[in-house]
Amino acid sequence: MSNYDRNAPETLKLLESLFENQDFETILEIFRELHPADQAKLFYGLKTDQQEVLLEQMEIPEIADIFDELDDKQTVIAARNLPLPFLADIIDDMDPDEAADLLGDLSGQDVRKTISLMEEPEEVLPLLRYADETAGGRMTTDFLTLELEDSADSAIQYLRSTGLENDIPYYLFVVNKEKSLLGVIGLRELVCADPGQIISDIMESNVISVQAMQDQEEAARVMKHYDLQALPVLNLQNQLVGVISHDDILDVLVDESTEDIYRLASVSDSALEPDSRLFLQLKGRLPWLLLNTITALIGSWVISNFGDLFVQVA
Amino acid sequence: MSNYDRNAPETLKLLESLFENQDFETILEIFRELHPADQAKLFYGLKTDQQEVLLEQMEIPEIADIFDELDDKQTVIAARNLPLPFLADIIDDMDPDEAADLLGDLSGQDVRKTISLMEEPEEVLPLLRYADETAGGRMTTDFLTLELEDSADSAIQYLRSTGLENDIPYYLFVVNKEKSLLGVIGLRELVCADPGQIISDIMESNVISVQAMQDQEEAARVMKHYDLQALPVLNLQNQLVGVISHDDILDVLVDESTEDIYRLASVSDSALEPDSRLFLQLKGRLPWLLLNTITALIGSWVISNFGDLFVQVA
């Protein structure tokens, strides 16, 4: 993994011919050499039946990584025809925020069945109650909490014991028994502290946070304004329920600024699709270009037919 | 610091009256309770003479923090009337990438004088050779490097010895004697490794990087695509010369997506200012609105004067 794939179109062409020869082994080999972000891009470029064959050949964690990277709509399409027990295993392995988005897009009956088949639904369930475009809809439940009286050393031991599978933010959050947020400490500050120092002495107690029901755009603006790598999200009881990480917010900021400006430029919402941007942008502006052209045509027709009158009036 | 300031307009009003009473002590007190991002926002809202008075009252590191947060143009304006030795001290304390941007915006003679007055110009000088909108122009020289044969424990000791003043990314980069980039290791991976483990065994050796001369937008796209918190920047000799961090890239992505769409919407470049966006957006679209109005006026004049002819022709 982690090769920066600058040759996606070539790779896709290669894959096409490998699919024709049913050489699934080589296809998997190519996929496994790529970063999940590039795997997702390639996967999206395949035909539906090719995607299905590929999913049959892949391990659950591999599929979960690709699903994490696909756009929400693409994930639903890819998940559509999977047997629910298989899908439940994949969702168990996905990032909780992406898993919640996928579950939220399934039909009502499938959601309930899939959740009942999941091994660890408790990470995802709290996220289902927030709309996609809220801070709660963007947050993950994958974060680590410390207590005031922990020592720096015990905090590091705790971090080590959790392992590295999950993409936990570089901030650790300090809460009390009621889960109220009391402070935050960066991993760097934790590493540089004396091992015996108590968390309450080294944490930052003025924590910037947002409410779960707030708009994702507000969360994004706060993170951008304060250069935060992670933003804690509180529920109405001011309990820490999740964390938004910097990469989630990149997407929001780009989407939202695009959306705002499209609106101002009177471009229709269909032009907001991130894919084939140029095409959609042109499509969005076409009615206006057409209107301009018609106006110009009428103008020139008027002038060519009644030019003499203009001269007379002048 | 770190209070999330939702009441900037009220605070600004309060400051105005404090300035009238020359109560600089209370003004400084208010400033010091705020996050530098909010300090910068307030500072920008002050009149030029108020800004000047405030800068006289503040400590050098405080000014450097505010300058780091101001937009490039705002920083130049604030720095314009400062005595060069004073300015040199501030620039010494600023983030290297912001310092280079400011130096790049000073007049030629001032740049040379200011650099000669600086204590640590060596962090900033390499950055001056890259244009603002390139990866090199966005990177910082504030990063930590390790060697292949270092142990995890010695790497952590080294991190501790560097202190916390600087905003060093959460990734550490592995280089050889020639400064070629060999690998990268996240702080979390470092903390979770066995103390005796050798860096070459735990680092990721497939490092995604960009060339210093590449466009900042390309760097931003790579960081967004791969969810990177920091992106190493290489010179033509493939030596590691800098690192772009996630907060720099937020600005680029938002600016660039705004810029792209403005261009497509035929809005002039002046509308790209991030401040008072609505005003500038309206200003940018005004010529078009005006043109439309004029067209409509001419049309209605033609129709009202030659309406009979239209009927005859039809």
Could you tell me if B231 and B210 are in contact, meaning their C-beta atoms sit under 8 angstroms apart? yes
Q: Inspect the interface and report whether the beta carbons of A250 and B251 lie closer than 8 Å.
A: no
Please give the CATH number for the structural domain made up of B8-133: 1.25.60.10
Which of left, alpha, beta for A163 (phi over 0: left; psi -120 to 50: alpha)?
A: left
Using a CB-CB distance cutoff of 8 angstroms, which residues of chain A are in contact with residue B249?
A: 250
Neighboring chain B residues of A305 at a CB cutoff of 8 Å = 313
Q: How close does chain A come to B312, measured CA to CA in Å?
A: 12
- Is the pLDDT assigned to residue A22 strictly greater than 60? yes
User: Kind and range of the H or E element at A309?
Assistant: helix A277-313
Block residue for tokens 């130096």: B103
* Beta bridge partners of residue B175, listed in sequence order: B181
> Looking at residues A11-38, what average pLDDT do you find?
91
Cα–Cα distance for residue pair A76/B126, rounded to 1 Å: 48
Instruction: List chain A residues with CB under 8 Å of B306.
Output: 302, 306, 309
Cβ A262–B264 below 8 Å, yes or no? no
- Predicted pLDDT of residue B162: 84
Give pLDDT, residue B248: 82
The shortest CB-CB distance from B306 to any of A191, A281, A306 is to: A306
Instruction: Determine the pLDDT at residue B273.
Output: 45
Pick the CATH number of A8-130 from 2.40.50.140, 3.40.50.410, 1.25.60.10, 1.20.190.20: 1.25.60.10
ipTM for this prediction: 0.73
Packing angle, helices A96-105 and A108-117, rounded to 10 = 140
The residues spanned by each domain of chain A are 8-130, 145-253, 269-313
Question: What residues contact residue A171 under an 8 Å CB cut-off, 6+ apart?
Answer: A184, A185, A186, A187, A229, A230, A243
Using CA atoms, how far apart are residues A119 and B54, in angstroms rounded to an integer?
59
pLDDT at B270: 45
Q: Beta-carbon neighbour count of residue B63 at 10 Å?
A: 24
Residues of A in contact with B222 (CB under 8 A): 4
Chain pair A-B, CB pairs under 8 angstroms = 133
Distances from the Cα of A184 to the Cα of A225, A227, A286, angstroms: 18, 15, 50
List A12's β-bridge partners, or say none. none
Class of domain A145-253: alpha beta
Mean pLDDT of A78-103: 93
| C-alpha span between A189 and A230 (Å, rounded) | 15
Report whether pLDDT(A297) > 90: no
CB contact under 8 A, B170 and A188: yes
Mutate to test the interface with B, among A257, A262, A263, A310 (most CBs of B within 10 A): A257
The distance of A3 to chain B (nearest Cα, Å) reads 6
CB contact under 8 A, B191 and A160: yes
Q: What percent of chain A has pLDDT over 90?
A: 53
DSSP assignment of B86-150: HHHHHHHHS-HHHHHHHHHHS-HHHHHHHHHH-S-GGGTGGGGGS-TTBHHHH-BS---EE-TT-
- What is the C-alpha to C-alpha distance for residues A136 and A115, in angstroms, rounded to an integer? 19
- Of B111, B182, B94, B100, give the one whose Cα is nearest residue B138: B100
How does pLDDT run across A190-238, given as a tens digit for each residue? Answer: 988 999 999 999 999 989 999 999 999 999 989 988 888 899 999 999 9
The Cβ of residue B174 has, within 10 Å, a number of other Cβ atoms equal to 24
- Tokens 């899908």 map to which residue? A87
Average the pLDDT over A268-283 and give the result.
Answer: 48
Classify residue A87 by burial, with Cβ atoms within 10 Å: 0-12, 13-18, 19+.
buried
* Order of strands across the sheet that contains B181-186: B145-146, B171-175, B181-186
Residue A284 is predicted with a pLDDT of 58
**What is d(CA B34, CA A109) in angstroms, rounded to the nearest whole number?**
50
Q: Cα(A4)–Cα(A34) distance, rounded to whole angstroms?
A: 7
b/e B234-245 (16+ beta carbons within 10 angstroms → b): bbeeeebbbbbb
Compute the average pLDDT of residues A33-45: 91
pLDDT of residue B69: 93
Q: What are phi and psi of B197, to 5 degrees?
A: -60, 145
* pLDDT score recorded for residue B115: 95
Distance of CA A309 to the CA centre of its chain: 63
Contacts of A313 in chain B (CB under 8 A): 305
> Residue B159: closest CA among chain A residues belongs to which residue?
A192
- B151 - beta bridge partners? B198
Helix intervals (H) in A126-276:
135-138, 152-162, 187-192, 199-202, 216-225, 246-264
Q: Select the residue of A188, A207, A247 nearest B187 (Cβ to Cβ).
A: A188
Task: Considering only residues B196 and A300, tell me which one the structure prediction assigns the higher pLDDT.
Answer: B196
Question: A300: distance to nearest CA of chain B, Å?
Answer: 11
**Is B174 in contact with B209 (CB distance < 8 Å)?**
no
pLDDT digits (tens, 9 = 90+) for A165-186: 656 668 899 999 999 999 999 8
User: Which of A187, A192, A254 faces B253 most closely, judged by CB atoms?
Assistant: A254
pLDDT (tens digit per residue) in A147-164: 999 999 999 999 888 876
- The one-digit pLDDT tens for each residue of chain B (314 residues) are 334 555 677 888 899 899 999 999 999 999 999 999 999 999 998 998 999 999 999 999 999 999 999 998 999 999 988 999 999 999 999 999 899 999 999 988 899 999 999 998 998 998 998 988 899 999 998 899 999 999 999 999 998 888 766 566 688 999 999 999 999 998 888 988 999 999 999 999 989 999 999 999 999 989 988 888 899 999 999 999 999 988 888 878 777 666 665 565 554 444 444 444 555 555 556 566 566 666 666 766 666 666 565 555 54
The pLDDT assigned to B3 comes to 44
Q: Chain A: nearest CA to B225, how far in angstroms? A: 6
Predicted pLDDT of residue A11 = 86
Position A76 confidence tier, pLDDT thresholds 50, 70, 90: very high
